[in-house]
Amino acid sequence: MNNMTTTVETPTVAPKSQVKRKTTQSAQPKVEKIERTVTPKLVCQVTGVGRYTNAQYLQKKAAARNCSTAEILSFYVSRDVAKLLRSGKTVAEIQGILGSTFESPIMDQPIETILRYNGKTKKGA
């Protein structure tokens, strides 16, 4: 008979404290944060109705009136409200006509001041 001996090697497992782990980076690439500009929202100071606009439009409007964009935002009124103001109505009357319950921060402002920041400007004048 033929005596054959075979040796089988069994892998030994190291305790968890001795295991060295490879630190691998995640499979997902790093995403760069993109700076976003906030889209300004014009809110009518009489009715509370808002609409989105862009910063370039506000800057042009402010430059044409020699004021800041913050002033444009704080005195903005919608087209319908501006028409009613030009016709001689007060802020309280306009709110009654349009059915608005918005607490207007420009209630005490003169109509001329409100209209100065709204509507078209005359070029060359």
User: Is there a domain that residue 74 lies in?
Assistant: yes
Q: Are 51 and 41 in contact, with CB atoms under 8 Å apart?
A: yes
Count how many domains the chain has.
Answer: 1
Integer Cα distance of 79 and 16 in angstroms: 73
The reply to whether the predicted model has a pTM over 0.75 is: no
User: Is there a domain that residue 77 lies in?
Assistant: yes
User: Is there a domain that residue 121 lies in?
Assistant: no
CA 116, 105, 83 angle in degrees (round to 5)? 40
User: Is there a domain that residue 12 lies in?
Assistant: no
Banded pLDDT at 7 (limits 50, 70, 90): low
User: Is there a domain that residue 7 lies in?
Assistant: no
H-state helical runs in the chain: 55-65, 69-74, 79-86, 91-98, 111-116
Q: What is the pLDDT of residue 56?
A: 92
User: Is there a domain that residue 16 lies in?
Assistant: no
Based on DSSP, count helices (H) and strands (E) in the chain, helices before strands. Answer: 5, 2
Banded pLDDT at 125 (limits 50, 70, 90): very low
Around 17, how many Cα atoms within 13 Å sit in the side-chain half-sphere?
Answer: 0
Closest to 108 measured CA to CA, from 46, 50, 39, 18: 46
Q: Which long-range contacts (CB under 8 A, 24 or more apart) does 49-52 make?
A: 49/78, 51/78
User: Is there a domain that residue 98 lies in?
Assistant: yes
Domain extent at residue 109: 41-116
